[in-house]
Amino acid sequence: MKKEKKKKLSKDKKRTRRKLLVTGLSATMFFLVLVGSLSRIIFVNGKKYSEKAYKQQMKNQMISPRRGIIYDANGEVLARNIAVDTVSVNPGKFAYANGKKVEDEMIATGLAQNLGLDYQEVLEKVKKNSSVVVIAKKMDQEKTALLRNWMAEKGITKGINIDEDTKRYYPHQTLASNLIGICGDDNSGIIGLEERWDNVLTGTAGKIVTVQDVHKNAISDETEQYVPVENGSNVYLTLDITIQQIAEKYLKQAVEQNSCKGGGNVIIMNPQNGNILAMATYPDYNLNQPFAIEPTGDSAIWDTLTTEQKNTSYNKLWTNKSVSKLYEPGSTFKIITSAIALEENLVQTDLPGDFMCTGSYQVEDRTIACWRKEPHGSQTLRQALCNSCNPAFMQLGQRIGASTLYKYYEAFGLFDASIGTGVAKTYRSVFHKLENVGKVELATISFGQRFEISPLQLITAVASIANDGELVQPNIVKQIENADTGVIEVQKSKEIRQVVSKETSEKIKDMMQSVVVEGTGKRAAVEGYTIGGKSGTSEPMAGDEEAGYTASFIAISPIENTQVIVLAVLYDPEGETYQGGQTAGPVAANILRETLPYLGLNTNEQNVIKQENTDFTLPNVASKTIASAKELLKTYGFDVKINITGDESTSVVTDQMPKPGTKLDKGSSVYLYTNENDTRVSTKVPVLTGLTKEEAKAKLQQSNLNVKIEGERGTVVSQEPQPNKSVEEGSIVDIVLQKAEE
């Protein structure tokens, strides 16, 4: 018995030793694994985990930059930022102040009614199984204020979030819409100048870096860093809002009168420096509501389109035709052909019998007709340009040859797709390859057909001829202003190359004047000014007959020292005629008739301004001498106010009040200032209520103020600015007249 007990104790001891040995070995192995893991963490992945810990401890608070403002050349705001709100919800979290749950239907009703949204669509979002759902972005704060009031009335404190945001706002709505373009929901540009200058307008985000503990509380120490935000720069355009309004007015009128299915576009440029003064496209759209209309114009058709097709339609509506649409320039291109031939000494302007038109011209096995059935007969180059004779220019093209033409096309920038990239996305022009230009192709390109360029490329090429033969890069940006420092970077005009001689330039401009005086451009004439021009009518490309004809006119003024060039293009006119001289010529004339005096360009009859009414547009006299400015302003019947001690023949005007483009009655006062004498005087607006028109005008005149009157009879019932407000001398006071019985 004792032996068995002793034997059993021996076995227990052995078993215990084995357990201790296994436990010891396990502990040793665990320790070795732990040491290995720690070694790997410290020595192998130490840097990685250190960075991860640092990131967890650091909190970056991003500071969004303000997008830059877009101004016109005179400082008028074209695009700016306004405060808006983004409304979101936390589905299932809606509650009253006392914590009681709110029904989804009630929330959807409040959101839909106050924000002007569709109830069913809002209800679907409210019922979503998600932590956060956006109900509406970029919502006007007038509407979110209604929502806040509703929430307060109902006592709803949870589940609806209203966060402040900004969006792009365009004060003039449709003005220059296809040029300016729009921004997306993230306030980045998606088309037009907003896209092209996005890197300048956007700026760089700033941030505040702080250290936080495990509970996400900020630890106040010296490790906090501040990276300042760089707000987007402000961009001043060369575009003048008054000239833009003039261009858009007459373009819209022409498109509607001539039933132009494809719309139209206008470009106005200063050929001396390439500055674009106006760039209009019609149809246009409201920049603040770019999706408000259906581009097809037919709801039934629109509803059948796919999302991709709808986006294509919108992009077509938003496109800037002046830059991105390629077209056949037609007979306006005869200016280019003439300039090349004159520069190469292959022709004279007035050599009798130099060209012959029998009504058509035979090129190999093809007979190409002139636009007019009755032959032009024997002609000089000047007569051929005035008559816009196709056979004459086919003969001229043969003299020049394809290789020489193409050499000049390149010099004129017609092969350069980047010529207008400062404005918008551009497309490469479409020409035959030089090796593929046969006699027929040579004939057609000589009078402006069977190739495609953009309107901006054509006006730039013709502008170089008007600018004594020197090609200048077209420019839309006048200057860039750092919004944080105020430092201004002026965008200087870029002279590219001399294309033709000044002598050739003068000959072409003289012939262009003949076109307006006695040729196909008579409808572009403007009384009192020297105008040169050329009409264009091109037929659709083979296989694209539905595109219709393109009618155009290009005009310059004055002939000497040309300051303005206008190109008007109308696509697919279906009115009484599709001829460029008869449809687009009047557009150019109307634009020049208002633009030239606005720019302060004198008429040939210095002392005569022929206008039946007494309402005149105040011209821009900046950069003119005081003497010259006075002479021009007095021709309009304005009373010029100056206060200088220097010589009026040398002192230069730097500013004026009222501003250029203002509509003023004859006898209104205009104040002129120079750098040396820019002392502004303030005056208080008098009380005008109850006065007659004559009494109000007399009282304002005593206060050195101008007046704009609404209504013909009665007494003053309202005025703006309000009485006793201090304003600058020369400011305009708007008054409304009304009869007592009204």
| CATH code for the domain in which residue 184 is found | 3.90.1310.10
Query: Would residue 554 count as lying in a domain?
Result: yes
Question: What local confidence, expressed as pLDDT, does residue 18 receive?
Answer: 67
Are 174 and 203 in a shared domain? yes
What's the whole-number mean pLDDT along residues 577-590?
94
pLDDT tens track for 205-237: 766 555 555 444 545 544 556 567 788 999 999
Are 567 and 691 in a shared domain? no
Are 516 and 642 in a shared domain? no
Question: What local confidence, expressed as pLDDT, does residue 54 receive?
Answer: 47
Question: What local confidence, expressed as pLDDT, does residue 93 receive?
Answer: 87
Vertex 720 angle, CA 717 and 726, to 5°: 130
Are 567 and 703 in a shared domain? no
Task: Give me the DSSP letters along 317-380.
Answer: HH--HHHH--B--GGGGHHHHHHHHHHTT---TT-TTSEEESSEEEETTEEEE-SSSS--EEE-
Question: What local confidence, expressed as pLDDT, does residue 379 receive?
Answer: 94
Are 509 and 627 in a shared domain? no
Query: Would residue 528 count as lying in a domain?
Result: yes
pLDDT of 381 above 90: yes
**Residue 632 burial (10 A CB sphere; 0-12, 13-18, 19+):** buried
- Please report, rounded to a whole number, the percentage of residues in the chain having pLDDT higher than 70: 86
Q: How distant, in Å, are the alpha carbons of 29, 250, 456, 612, 670 from that of 603? A: 104, 22, 28, 17, 20
463 lies in which domain range? 330-481+491-598
Question: What local confidence, expressed as pLDDT, does residue 551 receive?
Answer: 96
**Residue 511 burial (10 A CB sphere; 0-12, 13-18, 19+):** buried
Are 619 and 594 in a shared domain? no
We report the CATH number of the domain holding residue 557 as: 3.40.710.10
Domains contained in the chain, number: 3
Question: What local confidence, expressed as pLDDT, does residue 19 receive?
Answer: 66
- The count of residues in the chain is 742
Are 531 and 622 in a shared domain? no
We report the CATH number of the domain holding residue 695 as: 3.30.10.20
- Residue found under tokens 């309107």: 455
Lowest-pLDDT range of 21-30, 576-585, 684-693: 21-30
Query: Would residue 313 count as lying in a domain?
Result: no
pLDDT tens track for 704-725: 999 988 887 788 888 899 999 9
244 band by pLDDT with thresholds 50, 70 and 90: very high
Candidates 440, 419, 431, 432; CA nearest to 322 is 419
What's the whole-number mean pLDDT along residues 134-153?
90
Are 731 and 646 in a shared domain? yes
For residues 56 and 592, the model is more confident at 592
Query: Would residue 57 count as lying in a domain?
Result: no
pLDDT tens track for 156-196: 988 899 988 888 999 999 999 999 999 988 888 999 999 99
pLDDT of 51 above 80: no
610 band by pLDDT with thresholds 50, 70 and 90: very low
What's the whole-number mean pLDDT along residues 468-483?
94
Domain boundary among 236, 260, 292: 236
Residue 215 CA, distance from chain mean position: 50
257 band by pLDDT with thresholds 50, 70 and 90: very high
Are 544 and 421 in a shared domain? yes
Question: What local confidence, expressed as pLDDT, does residue 34 receive?
Answer: 64
Question: What local confidence, expressed as pLDDT, does residue 609 receive?
Answer: 41
Average pLDDT of the chain, as a whole number = 86
27 band by pLDDT with thresholds 50, 70 and 90: low
605 band by pLDDT with thresholds 50, 70 and 90: very low
Phi, psi of 251 (to 5 degrees): -65, -50
Q: How distant, in Å, are the alpha carbons of 260, 287, 289 from that of 302? A: 21, 21, 18
Question: What local confidence, expressed as pLDDT, does residue 61 receive?
Answer: 55
Query: Would residue 703 count as lying in a domain?
Result: yes
Lowest-pLDDT range of 270-284, 387-401, 614-628: 614-628
Query: Would residue 260 count as lying in a domain?
Result: no
pLDDT tens track for 403-421: 999 999 999 999 998 887 7
Q: What does the alpha-carbon distance between residue 302 and residue 163 come to, in Å, rounded to a whole number? A: 34
507 band by pLDDT with thresholds 50, 70 and 90: very high
Phi, psi of 174 (to 5 degrees): -90, -10
> Which residues are within 8 A (CB) of 379 and not within 5 positions of it... i.e. 6 or more apart?
353, 354, 355, 356, 357, 387, 389, 392
Number of H helices, E strands in the chain: 23, 36
pLDDT tens track for 557-574: 999 999 999 999 999 999
What's the whole-number mean pLDDT along residues 539-543?
78
Q: How distant, in Å, are the alpha carbons of 615, 628, 633 from that of 608? A: 15, 15, 12
**Residue 640 burial (10 A CB sphere; 0-12, 13-18, 19+):** middle
Query: Would residue 288 count as lying in a domain?
Result: no
**Residue 604 burial (10 A CB sphere; 0-12, 13-18, 19+):** exposed
The tokens of 664 are what? 């003023």
Domain boundary among 598, 631, 650: 598
What's the whole-number mean pLDDT along residues 60-64?
62
pLDDT of 49 above 60: no
pLDDT of 439 above 80: yes
The tokens of 114 are what? 């106050």
pLDDT tens track for 633-669: 877 778 888 877 777 877 888 888 988 878 788 888 8
CA quadruple 270, 275, 278, 284: dihedral positive or negative? positive
For residues 29 and 272, the model is more confident at 272
Are 496 and 417 in a shared domain? yes
To the nearest 10°, report the CA torsion of 6, 12, 16, 17: 50
What's the whole-number mean pLDDT along residues 501-509?
96
Are 209 and 97 in a shared domain? yes
What's the whole-number mean pLDDT along residues 494-521?
94
For residues 399 and 691, the model is more confident at 399
Vertex 683 angle, CA 682 and 684, to 5°: 135
608 band by pLDDT with thresholds 50, 70 and 90: very low
Candidates 313, 318, 284, 288; CA nearest to 301 is 313
pLDDT of 266 above 90: yes
pTM for this entry: 0.74
pLDDT of 424 above 90: no
Question: What local confidence, expressed as pLDDT, does residue 611 receive?
Answer: 43
Contact 483, 66 (CB under 8 A): yes
Query: Would residue 551 count as lying in a domain?
Result: yes
Vertex 140 angle, CA 136 and 143, to 5°: 85
Are 627 and 564 in a shared domain? no
